[in-house]
Amino acid sequence: MSKNQVLFERAQRTIPGGVNSPVRAFRSVGGTPRFIERAQGAYFWDADGKRYIDYIGSWGPMILGHVHPEVLEAVQRVLADGFSFGAPTEAEIEIAEEICKLVPSIEQVRMVSSGTEATMSALRLARGFTNRSRIIKFEGCYHGHADSLLVKAGSGLLTFGNPTSAGVPADIAKHTTVLEYNNVEQLDEAFKAFGSEIASVIVEPVAGNMNLVRATPEFLNALRERCTEYGAVLIFDEVMCGFRVALGGAQEVYGIKPDLTCLGKVIGGGMPAAAFGGRRDIMAHLAPLGGVYQAGTLSGNPIAVAAGLKTLQLIQRRGFYDDLAKQTRKLVDGLGAAARDAKVPFSADSIGGMFGLYFMDRVPGSFAQIQQGDTQRFNAFFHAMLDAGVYFAPSAFEAGFVSSAHDDAVIDATLDAARGAFASLAA
């Protein structure tokens, strides 16, 4: 029995499902999760000592690759001064200033410790600012595990949403309306029906939790126009795509200014850190200035801030995003060519350092289209690549990530493995 199997059996005795985040369990692809012991650059090594090319990057944060020497040095420099204070530090001001500089829609920002905290707090703030209760979210977009966000579409277009998790009261779910991603007609209908009740619309402008799905410019422009018209707060959840698709996030790519933005992943440099911020008049409603309460013991933790601040500084180097996008595009183009050679139905897309792989003939634009993909073929591909030492997300419904450490040699090795994997699918 491998050490990974031994650890998984041991973990299941004290941890529900043997993992602390469900996607790590390999449930959708089958098999034993890999327990990671160390990482460096574009690689990590499991408990059996096997090396993998890593395309999850801790689900996005490791944009510089693992254990980047300058980030490591920044963390080591602050460690000796203390792990946490429960009081403000100058570094918190520095990272706030850096975020506001890089994302022009953010005039003020509040640090938190997770993406779920960021979205939950932003929605509470939007409700407090507007004195309204209803929120709109979109099918396939994941915004963390707060109660009001674990909701799926109702049986009809404008029916109340239904909880997708046990433990979420129907009385909470009823305040969430779920619409189809990229569907402007549904959006217009929802605002006509509920416009005066809508506190906020929250959206991933580049979705990553139903796999990579881009919003259309028409869809995001309609969101901005309707929110402005009806006085609702437009929230861009850029926890995943922020600083991933461009230095200014997806809002820079699309040229659209949300009212509030949620950030995470990259801004922690691999440490637990996230943030939400936006218009000064909205942020003024937060305690201690206003009546919307939000707090966190470890918010702005000095170690996390040190890692995040150094990461934000390094990604501003000239040509960083051009190089990152080029390597990501080389990966997806190469995978597409390998699939065509093997005559396997497949498509792929990328934006910045994010990519999506779809076992279908077209790039999808909604959750319903994503569901048409061949998950059995994906599972077989995933395991073939895993056996070859390439670690993609263990789910057909998750985006992948490339770092600046994924050089030509890494991409070429991945494509060599992929040609064999696709050939085995065609056999």
Measured between alpha carbons, how far is 132 from 134 in angstroms, rounded to an integer?
6
Query: What does the DSSP 8-state code read for residue 203?
Result: E
- Asked whether the beta carbons of 366 and 182 are under 8 A apart, the reply is yes
Measured between alpha carbons, how far is 195 from 139 in angstroms, rounded to an integer?
19
The verdict on whether 237 is a catalytic residue reads yes
Beta strands in 293-364 (DSSP E): 347-351, 354-358
Of the candidates 280, 354, 308, 313, the one whose C-alpha atom is nearest the C-alpha of residue 113 is 308
Measured between alpha carbons, how far is 26 from 39 in angstroms, rounded to an integer?
20
Catalytic residue among 52, 142, 181, 321: 142
Catalytic residue among 137, 265, 310, 330: 265
How crowded is residue 7: how many other Cβ atoms within 10 Å of its Cβ? 18
Helix, strand, coil percentages, rounded to 5, for the chain: 40, 15, 40
Of the candidates 275, 411, 276, the one whose C-alpha atom is nearest the C-alpha of residue 331 is 411
138 Cα distance to chain centroid: 15
Catalytic residue among 237, 310, 330, 358: 237
- Pinpoint the alpha helices (H) of 144-233: 170-173, 184-194, 217-230
* Biggest distance spanned by C-alpha atoms of the chain: 65
Q: Which residue(s) pair with 202 in the sheet?
A: 235
Q: Is the peptide bond before 258 cis (omega within 30 degrees of 0)?
A: no
The verdict on whether 142 is a catalytic residue reads yes
Q: Following DSSP, what letter does each residue of 255-299 receive, concatenated? A: T---SEEEE-GGGGTTSS-EEEEE-HHHHTTBTTTSSB----TTT
Structure tokens at 404: 């600046």
Report, as residue numbers or ranges, the catalytic residues. 142, 237, 265
